[in-house]
Structure 1
């Protein structure tokens, strides 16, 4: 087993502690005494921050620096935590330093604050964050460390997380092991093809619900069918009445047929005349079609030459618009070039003035000369300043010349581009004049062609004139009129009374037929009632069978849950875990409730909670084969701790101790 012991801990400017160092800690038990806000909890936060960069609440981004009178982080300080650990009696030194970053402002002696950076040191060697985290994880995983160093850490987890930790420690009985342990469970397994136990359970619940709903609806449906049955009648009497009325209808149909035969002769004669009229109208229609074509030909005017000229006019107009747009674009480009040249010329003039000013500068001999005390003669005691002056002056002049040449080159380039655009400007102007002239010419031609066209005749007037003058159409009109005079008026026979009698008899037959059909309706209703009664019994059996399977599933879950609870609780001495809650319907809901002598963890007193937490830590240490220092806050509330192999760090509230004091 890996044993981790805190040998020494040093804090520098960490939260409310300016400096504190605790050496040679007892490998078994240590107690830190201090009044409230003396920094007891800060020790644990500092230890966690050293290893993982987080506090007790798993926060990364929180203020660790001391605060000034305005409750703001004090500047000019670095926050540091250093520790020496004994890992299986081998010393490991670890440091984390939260440093301020300052950089000198250009051209000034002052420095500006640029934020913070973290320096990590492992066994006296600075390391990067990734390497540091890897080395810490090799000692102990972060999630495990937090659970085995704080008695209340496990209970602060969500129930799903607590269950996962416990299951990882004891392992869980597999479904297959349970299937093999019981014949009913084995039968259940055979029904899980292509589905999980949870899915099959949901399927059963849905089937039971559907079957119960159908069974509950069945009695009402049977009552409704019984109420729908028709009263029994004398079917032989009805059959006799229907036969008599059908015979009467046959007699009426015969009378109607005889009265209509004389009318049919007139209708047939009229039909023959109408056929002759139709033939003559067809001949007349063919002649009119030919006359319509003749009238259209006489009124036709050829305008194809004008259409061709208008097409050319549209093309020329489009080209004129494009040429004008192109001309505007060229003018804009020339304006841009001229504007750029004007700006560059101004820059060039500024450079000439700058060059003349710089070139006029001379070395100040007086500044670097002295007088001989003996002969009063002036001389330059060192020629280096003049050399430096001339070098600097030549460099500045060369740079000005270089800038001037660059500007000159750009001016020439813009002028060259402007000249090219000017050539295009002249060509574009010629195109505009060309298309304008072409458009005027085409408009004149169109006008002349339009003036030469003859006034078109009215096609409808020409057509009507041709029709009126056609002798064949006049002859056909006379023949059609003669035939139409031969059509005789058809007066239908009055059989309305016979039809009314027939309709009344048919209505009586329909009523009798409906009464006759009631026997078939009642037979079908009786058959359906029998089917529903049979289905009701069948549904009772189906529901019973499905509920039996559901009961087996619930028993399966209960056996599995009891097995898991028993396995978990064997690992603990003072605390027991309730991993499942039974629902009203008998089902089980997964949970994770820690119980201390039957009392929920959070409802127990502080001493019971701490000892229960130590019990959990002992088990987790064995499962992970590691021990680490346990920080026990509010230690004064516990008179006696249960035994543990881990190092104990007691944090005790003591009003008598103004400053945090270690007692080994």
Structure 2
């Protein structure tokens, strides 16, 4: 077991202590003091020294001494804590110093506060923060330190889940197979679980039961809603409705045939046929008069369209090349700036000279080295410096040359692009002139097209068509009244038919809703059966948990002399809730247990944890005056005792670790 003993703890300018030494002589010790004299500060200093936090696990607590208004009493002090530890008999010294950083800026007569610094020392040797942390972690991890140095930490600062994890880590968990084997009533559980563990199956069952309950609650509402949507068919006869519908459809068909005969009168049909013949002849005359011009217009339209497409292509090419020139100019500017910076950098490197001072004394014996050795070392350093300088200058020159080469290439590219833009612009101007001329020719062809209405034959046929249309109009006016009367009869029959079809559709809707209600009722029965089966499975998982609780609590409690633990709590509904309550003689730790019992229970837990982890660390017992008899422990005990008569903190060390307190 690794044994850590606090031999001496020294505080300087720490939380009101100008200088204080807690000297234990390597054994147990008592610290007596009235309230406010700094008993807890000693424990805060020890934890801050190792982990940068106080005993309440706060990293932002105030280290400096404050006045009555809460301001820092004195600045520019070094606040430090130092501890001499015996680790399995070997002394190690750890020291942490917290300081203000003040600097005087040029032109200012006063110092300026710039922040804080923390310095670390191990066995008198300054180390970096990371090295210091690694050394402390190698000594004891922070979480384990808290568990082993404070009797109240386990029960008052650890969360329930963390306490359970520690307890299970001490005794080991119990497998599901062990629990099932211990209770014959659980014999069917493995077949039910399948690939799941008990807890995941329980969660799945609870979730499914909740979903089933919700579905079952909604089913009556869905049935009621379906029944409300069912049509009333109590006074309807499906067969009679079907017969009436067929009769109305026959009557509508007869009336529609009568309307067709009225609309398609014999003389009207002859005149309509002649009108169609005239329209065909009119189209022939128009085509004969205009076909040649239309062909020329089509050719010219194609020519104009092709010119437009060529003009758009030229404009896009010019735009693309202009964008490329702009991009190249931006790159040229960037490369020129980069070359300027490289030139400055080359001058800086070229102006560098060797600043080398060789130690003229032997590092082993301290005697002055011979002049030839000193000169040799200087020459080697100078050669190395010049070689490195030449390499850097060569690299800078190469990078500058590459930048300027790229600039020249880009400028040449821009000149070529500008020439191409000028050529494309000239082509665009020429094409635009030709396009204007072609559009003018197209408009001339369009305005010179001959109007067919000026042709005598065309005018004669147009007049005949108008006369025929007038004749048809007169014929239809005489038949229009009869046609409208029959149309009104058809509309009335259609309205009756729609009403009867709506009544007939009610039977199909009624049947579908009946089938839906039946499906819902079957679903309700299936859900009820599934819920009953799941409730049985849930009971088995809870019985499993109760069996596991009995085995687990017995196994854990056997590791402790005084502390007992309750890991589960029975709920009103019969379920189990995960807890982690510490008990002493049946009294919960946070439910009426006095301070003395709390401390002794905490020491009992520390004893078991120390044995489990193989560590023994100093235990700080605050409010130790409440305990008349502490239980036995192998660790070093530092009691913090309230003593009204001691207005300054007084430390009383004991000669050995076993001396009674």
TM value normalised by structure 2:
0.64
**Equivalent residues in 2 for 1:80-479, closer than 5 Å:** 80-99=80-99, 115-154=115-154, 155-178=156-179, 187-192=188-193, 197-215=198-216, 263=262, 267-291=265-289, 463-464=450-451, 467-471=453-457, 473-477=458-462, 479=464
* 1:548 CA displacement: 0.6
Summarize the alignment of residues 547-558 of structure 1 with structure 2, pairs less than 5 Å apart: 547-558=535-546
Distance in 2 (alpha carbons) for counterparts of 1:223 and 1:115: 74
Q: Which has the larger radius of gyration?
A: 1
- Give, in whole Å, the separation in 2 of the partners of 1:568 and 1:648: 26
Q: CA deviation at 1:144?
A: 1.1
Q: Contact 2:8/2:23 (CA < 8 Å) preserved in 1?
A: yes
* Distance change (3 Å), C-alpha of 1:165 and 1:285: same
Q: Deviations over 1:417-439 (max 9, x none)?
A: xxxxxxxxxxxxxxxxxxxxx9x
Name the residue aligned to 2:562. Answer: 574
Kept in 1, the 8 Å contact 2:596–2:627? The answer is yes
CA displacement, residues 524-545 of structure 1 (integer Å, 9 cap, x when unaligned): 8877776666555444322211
Question: Once the 2 structures are TM-superposed, how far is the Cα of residue 609 of structure 1 from its aligned partner?
Answer: 1.7
Name the CA shift for 1:223/1:25 in 2 (closer, same or farther; >3 Å): same
Q: For 2:41, what is the secondary structure of its paired residue?
A: helix
The aligned counterpart of 2:603 is: 614
Does the 8 Å CA contact 2:120/2:127 hold for their aligned counterparts? yes
Whether the aligned pair in 1 keeps the contact of 2:65 and 2:73 (CA below 8 Å) is: yes
Aligned to 2:629, what secondary structure does the other structure show? Answer: coil
Cα gap change, 1:480 to 1:530, in 2 (>3 Å): closer
- Unpaired runs of at least 5, structure 2: 323-425, 654-661
Q: Aligned equivalents of 1:288 and 1:570: distance in 2?
A: 116
Cα gap change, 1:120 to 1:500, in 2 (>3 Å)? closer
Shift of 1:41: 1.4
Q: Secondary structure at the match of 1:546?
A: helix
Q: Quote the residue 2:14 is aligned against.
A: 14
Equivalent-residue separation in structure 2 for 1:485 and 1:230 (angstroms): 57
Q: CA deviation at 1:482?
A: 6.4
Q: Check conservation: 1:95, 1:120, Cα contact below 8 A.
A: yes
Which deviations, in whole Å up to 9, do the C-alpha atoms of 1:583-604 show, x marking residues without a partner? 3433333222223333332332
Q: Residues 18 and 66 of structure 1 are in contact (CA less than 8 Å); yes or no, is this contact kept in structure 2?
A: no
User: Structure 1's 44 and 214: CA in aligned 2 closer, same or farther, altered over 3 A?
Assistant: closer
Compared with structure 1, are the counterparts of its residues 505 and 631 closer, same or farther at alpha carbon in structure 2 (3 Å cutoff)? closer
Cα distance change of structure 1 residues 641 and 527 upon mapping to structure 2, 3 Å threshold: same
Match of 1:599 in 2: 587
Q: Distance between the aligned counterparts of 1:152 and 1:279, measured in 2? A: 114
| CA displacement at 1:547 relative to structure 2 | 0.9
Mean alpha-carbon deviation: is it higher for 214-223 or for 588-597?
Answer: 214-223
1:268-313 CA distances to partner (integer Å, 9 max, x unpaired)?
443243123212212212323454568899999x9x99xx9xx9xx
Paired with 1:658 and 1:297, the residues of 2 have a C-alpha distance of: 122
Q: CA deviation at 1:102?
A: 6.2
- SS of the residue corresponding to residue 549 of structure 1 reads helix
Measured on the aligned residues, the alpha-carbon RMSD in Å equals 5.5
Distance 1:255 1:139 in 2: 109
Residues 34 and 653 of structure 1 are in contact (CA less than 8 Å); yes or no, is this contact kept in structure 2? Answer: yes
Distance 1:506 1:138 in 2: 97
Unaligned 5+ runs, structure 1: 323-437
Q: What TM-score does the superposition give when structure 1 sets the normalisation length?
A: 0.64
Change in Cα spacing, 1:569 to 1:469, as seen in structure 2 (3 Å) is: same
Q: Does 1:35 align with 2:20?
A: no
Q: In the alignment, is residue 663 of structure 1 matched against residue 656 of structure 2?
A: no
Q: Is the 8 A contact 1:6 1:629 kept in 2?
A: yes
